[in-house]
Amino acid sequence: MGKGLLRSIVGYGRKVYDLGRRLAGARDKREEPATSSEEVAAAIFFGGLLRIRSFNALEPKLREKTFLRLVGAPESRKKLCSADTLSRALRKMVIDSVRSITVGMLQQAERNKVFREGWVGAMRYVAIDGWEPICSYNRHCENCLIRMVDARRRDGTVEKVPQYYHRYVVAMLIDERLDLAVDIEPLLPSDLRPDGGTKDDEDEGELTAAKRLLRRVKKTYPWVDVVVADGLYPNGPFLTLVTELRMGAVIIIRKEGNEPLREALAIWGDAPAEQTFVDDKARERIELWDCPGIETLTSYNGPIRVVRGRVSDLRKPEEPPHTWCMVVIGKAMKLSATQVVRVGRGRWHIENTGFNQWTQYWKFCHVFVHDGNGILALYWLFFAAYNLLTLFLYMQLRSYGRDRGKDVTRTISRLVDEMCDDLVRLTRSPWDTS
């Protein structure tokens, strides 16, 4: 019998990313806990790695010898803790201590030249987008955002009721193979806003949190070159921040009446495409228009380039083409029009590889704990597990996906299934190197 995929991924994390030391750095503010912060972090990390759907489903494993070996507990230990203990520890967790697990792994990956070749134009790209994983009509905490929504009563009338939800801005490193979770920033309720808002003010908006996030991303990962974002972001303040951080940006723009797209459309008029080519691999025909040097956006001091791409699916000639318009600034200016369209369309990595996969397979939308600090700590541990799984698959098991077809999601799901099978056969700790 081989050593198994589960033991292999733990060994990979230990040797390449110093996973044991990073998990040992987790800290919480409980007083004299029976279960250490390191053990709690390891239990949640491996619960995420094995895609265990809830703490109730995880609780029986906290008594199993194989899972205790997996988290590195002594052989004499009979039980790790209860699900309630995991929840309490998350509420008290020091966010920077669990955030450093993910940050340290990504920084080590960069030192190991994992991202050396970059993606399009040999640059590194981070996609950012808003994400709302949790909402409730009943359960809430002090970090919840609140909105009034229509609810239908039994007698058929409609009334406004409060809905409580948590919303975040997420940053994901994207390229052709590796899509890795980089950072996450919560939108804050009015009374917790750092700009001094009061309860009478509005809750924080996505752009405010996104600017806070982007500053931290660039400070933490100075090797990131370009930010990719959707139609909320092509505005002066955000573009100004990108320039101040000496980054580039490729941002989708949709509203034809807004600058600088309005100016570009006026310049192009009804002129035919400046460039047309056929992508035989994707079976697409792409028409391109390029308009550099627009300066009509008064809230931004600098030239803006606008690129339009019209994409026709040659496999479905009866369907109308899709049109993409993108604002380009900074380092991204050196990209060709073809590359700009490729990067702009690549923003969907954060939707498909990130949010959709996390919701369907990682159960990020399940309420493991309803507390602002606890949810954020949980996501940081799950991000670390997701990143390790992704790096292991693409850097170590390079033939694994080819053996199991082209569907990336099904390939990863099969990998997780095999690791779950390996768990019951774990006769000694994977941390034991003797």
Return mean pLDDT, the chain.
91
- Mean per-residue pLDDT for 152-173? 89
The pLDDT score that the predictor gives to residue 406 is 60
Matching residue, tokens 């669990």: 98
CA 259, 264, 269 angle in degrees (round to 5)? 130
The pLDDT score that the predictor gives to residue 399 is 58
CA-CA distance, 320 to 160, in Å (whole number)?
40
- Mean per-residue pLDDT for 116-144? 92
C-alpha distance from residue 205 to each of 185, 188, 252, 365, 412 (Å): 12, 8, 19, 21, 34
Q: Categorize the per-residue pLDDT at 199 as very low, low, confident or very high, splitting at 50, 70 and 90.
A: very low
pLDDT at 201 exceeding the cut of 70: no
Per-residue pLDDT tens over the stretch 8-27: 999 999 999 999 999 999 99
* CB environment 287-315: b (16+ within 10 A), e (fewer): bbbbbeebeebeebeeebbbbbbbbbeee
Matching residue, tokens 């906290």: 62
Residue ranges of the alpha helices (H) in 329-371?
A: 337-346, 348-349, 357-360
Matching residue, tokens 């700590």: 377
Phi, then psi, of 151 in degrees rounded to 5 = -130, 135
Give the distance from CA 412 to its chain's centroid: 17
Q: Categorize the per-residue pLDDT at 177 as very low, low, confident or very high, splitting at 50, 70 and 90.
A: confident
pLDDT at 329 exceeding the cut of 60: yes
Q: Is 253 exposed, middle or buried (0-12, 13-18, 19+ CB in 10 A)?
A: buried
Q: Categorize the per-residue pLDDT at 198 as very low, low, confident or very high, splitting at 50, 70 and 90.
A: very low
The pLDDT score that the predictor gives to residue 192 is 67
pLDDT at 67 exceeding the cut of 80: yes
pLDDT at 130 exceeding the cut of 50: yes
Q: Backbone dihedral region of 341: left (phi > 0), alpha (psi from -120 to 50 degrees) or beta?
A: alpha
Extract the tokens encoding 162.
């409060």
pLDDT at 400 exceeding the cut of 80: no
The answer to whether 189 and 140 have CB atoms below 8 angstroms apart is: no
Those residues whose C-beta lies under 8 Å from the C-beta of residue 352, and which sit 6 or more positions away, are none
- Mean per-residue pLDDT for 299-325? 94
Residue ranges of the alpha helices (H) in 25-117?
A: 37-49, 55-58, 65-70, 83-92, 95-111
Extract the tokens encoding 6.
């589960």
Of the given ranges (71-85, 192-206, 276-290), which has the lowest mean pLDDT? 192-206
Task: Enumerate the domain spans of the chain.
Answer: 5-102+369-423, 231-346
